[in-house]
Structure 1
């Protein structure tokens, strides 16, 4: 009898705790539970989903908002809308571009401004966990890549798909954070790729992270070498993949009381910069329900190498593998001076702890040809995430891009 009672207690206590918490939990916005296409639909916008396969076999999912919420369905005899491609950063996903209200979110702002909007998803995140032959849950080889491969394979596959479906020859590219780093790397290795970009808008641009501040800097200084050794010894694996358990934890902590919500917001800001103006704290549980969205541990190790070495090195695999792959003991450096024939617009801030002014001075500002940098916009009081989640990002960044493109089309 006692054993039966103990078993009932073991089963019922967690259920009672969940019910009790549910009673006192604040209501969570609908976007907490929806994926990116569902979020887009919930706001009344059209959405399409496409898959594309990279040259090395990764199947990436793209999300498209072909026209604005209040626009009529385009007819066959209408001129095509200009294509804008939005690419997320490290551990993020297409959700970042539709994370706020429609008048605040880049994906919706651009759709309503007349663009054919495409949202990319890098390999390994929530929407791109497929391969032609590898299983992410069983095959460690699925995770054997860094941002080198993202730059080399993912960008051309996704942009190629957007151009194929839209029937256009080039598009406007907007990258955030690692979405800029990978494009700068791609253009430096293959300058001819610039023919597919009408203009390149770089938000919180990254050339290196040698002078990163905040929690990332602390972790890099104290644990970076050990982390790299671990990945080198045991191989790459999934890093911070999205899961139902993490969503539950977020819901019953950040979403429970305002004090916990504020704590989660403060913890987030410790990574990116503490400037909190234009930051909607009540949306933090929603952001965290979708982020982190997953990547590989080798990508994290590669970013740590940038922090440790400075510059923009390819992934350091150790002397033996470096000699085999690169033909030299140390990994080569990406050289941004070779980027040509693409108009670049930089949007950055002194208050950004991950894309710091010092790092920009040592890489992008120093190496990019001034003739191709057609806009250099310093946004005051912006941390790293304000460029995608800031409540006034539409006014400070997105509508400025719309105006630049409008001038380009007229």
Structure 2
């Protein structure tokens, strides 16, 4: 029976590939960035780029991408004074590509470089650029994938930020996180308050404390399949989740990149996950986005997010009573508590139109637990100031990194805030 199923799958894949080849002569051209990796994208726009590797304490080898200065920065001016270091960290199933996904005048990585920053782009373990370990093989050893965002917070963030500080020579940097890039930093600061000495200011885009009130497709999947998925992962162990593959890229190219109507359909489907607001969104870039995202993670992370959705709060990963007792010394996983975060200015950028970082979740976690004295408020034309944060209207979850006007609503705001501190 298994052999017949295997033969059927082989035939179906062969037919699919044949169909893609037939369609290839009719597909419209896609942007060059569709085919390039992050360093190649940076080079293609005329910016300098460096690739650095760092090994975490638990053996994962992470790749960082650096844009040391802007495209039009004269080399001689680099010695005038040290450039402020800004570290940009992506979210779940994403990669460093997030920050250079649009045109240079619309992408955070390029905008910050041109504004005089030393820009560092992080990559969490398990994504396209961080699939290496000192002893484990991601394609053969399931133990490679046995981690959740707890380990990302504990090991990946200090390793990457430490590397950026070591190479740049700076003592501290400006941290900008998106989605899970914020959750992991909040968790890190809550269990290790001393880590704040490495962060001058913390800019949290689409910040996540928990996702109990998430809406859209993730909410539907969590309600109907979350418990079964958690049970499956607990029973059979973790594995790679949505890793980047050439087959997926082919499908994207010959569907989303085939006709304008299919391109629009792919954009609409994407909105079902993150929020329906589609203003300030370059629909023609959707094939490029999907060629790089999802970039891969561990199925444990998805199970962990399902637990947060099901039970609320900010729990460590629930591995089942027996393993919980072994690891945590109790049957239930401990909860992260953000009230201990201090001595670091935090700027929150959020929207009521975001289906993954909802106002209800923020009210129950970040707005309640964060010390009001560390959440900074600066009045701006673009924002509604609420509960010590920047509320941006008509923004879905992905607008914070891919919105065509994110430069004016977010990145220039960050540049202005940093500039005040430098003067």
SS in 1 for 2:200: strand
Q: Provide the rounded CA distance (Å) in 2 between the counterparts of 1:140 and 1:57.
A: 15
1:113 aligns with 2:132: no
Which residue number in structure 2 is paired with residue 351 of structure 1?
353
SS in 2 for 1:373: coil
Runs of 4+ in 1 over 3 A off after TM superposition: 10-20, 74-77
Residues 74 and 207 (structure 1), Cα distance of their counterparts in 2 relative to 1, 3 Å cut: farther
Counterpart contact for 2:20–2:250, Cα < 8 Å: no
Which residue number in structure 2 is paired with residue 5 of structure 1?
none
Choose the corresponding residue for 1:261, options 260, 263, 279.
263
The alpha-carbon deviation at position 23 of structure 1 amounts to 2.0
C-alpha RMSD over aligned residues: 1.6
Choose the corresponding residue for 1:200, options 199, 202, 206.
202
Deviation readout 1:41-77 (Å, 9 max, x if unpaired): 0000000000000000000000000000000125674
SS in 2 for 1:374: coil
SS in 2 for 1:372: coil
Which residue number in structure 2 is paired with residue 155 of structure 1?
157
Counterpart contact for 2:87–2:161, Cα < 8 Å: yes
Map residues 69-88 of structure 1 onto 2, 5 A cutoff.
69-74=71-76, 77-88=79-90
1:389 aligns with 2:402: yes
Give me the TM-score of the superposition, normalised by structure 1. 0.96
Q: Provide the rounded CA distance (Å) in 2 between the counterparts of 1:338 and 1:239.
A: 33
Deviation readout 1:154-184 (Å, 9 max, x if unpaired): 0000000000000010000000000000000
Q: Provide the rounded CA distance (Å) in 2 between the counterparts of 1:16 and 1:65.
A: 40
Q: Provide the rounded CA distance (Å) in 1 between the counterparts of 2:320 and 2:415.
A: 45
1:167 aligns with 2:169: yes
Residues 11 and 325 (structure 1), Cα distance of their counterparts in 2 relative to 1, 3 Å cut: closer
Which residue number in structure 2 is paired with residue 6 of structure 1?
none
SS in 2 for 1:255: coil
Which residue number in structure 2 is paired with residue 26 of structure 1?
28
Q: Provide the rounded CA distance (Å) in 1 between the counterparts of 2:160 and 2:253.
A: 33
Residues 75 and 403 (structure 1), Cα distance of their counterparts in 2 relative to 1, 3 Å cut: closer
Q: Provide the rounded CA distance (Å) in 2 between the counterparts of 1:369 and 1:197.
A: 17
SS in 1 for 2:376: strand
Which residue number in structure 2 is paired with residue 398 of structure 1?
411
Counterpart contact for 2:99–2:108, Cα < 8 Å: yes
Residues 253 and 339 (structure 1), Cα distance of their counterparts in 2 relative to 1, 3 Å cut: same
SS in 1 for 2:75: coil
The alpha-carbon deviation at position 346 of structure 1 amounts to 0.1
SS in 1 for 2:302: helix
Residues 237 and 407 (structure 1), Cα distance of their counterparts in 2 relative to 1, 3 Å cut: same
Counterpart contact for 2:93–2:297, Cα < 8 Å: yes
1:214 aligns with 2:227: no
Q: Provide the rounded CA distance (Å) in 1 between the counterparts of 2:302 and 2:420.
A: 39
Q: Provide the rounded CA distance (Å) in 1 between the counterparts of 2:21 and 2:333.
A: 54
Deviation readout 1:17-60 (Å, 9 max, x if unpaired): 44542221111000000000000000000000000000000000
Deviation readout 1:240-270 (Å, 9 max, x if unpaired): 0000010000000000011111111111100
Map residues 208-287 of structure 1 onto 2, 5 A cutoff.
208-287=210-289
The alpha-carbon deviation at position 15 of structure 1 amounts to 7.8
Which residue number in structure 2 is paired with residue 96 of structure 1?
98
Which residue number in structure 2 is paired with residue 3 of structure 1?
none
Which residue number in structure 2 is paired with residue 7 of structure 1?
none
Choose the corresponding residue for 1:187, options 186, 189, 192.
189
Which residue number in structure 2 is paired with residue 302 of structure 1?
304
Q: Provide the rounded CA distance (Å) in 1 between the counterparts of 2:276 and 2:13.
A: 42
Q: Provide the rounded CA distance (Å) in 1 between the counterparts of 2:277 and 2:187.
A: 29
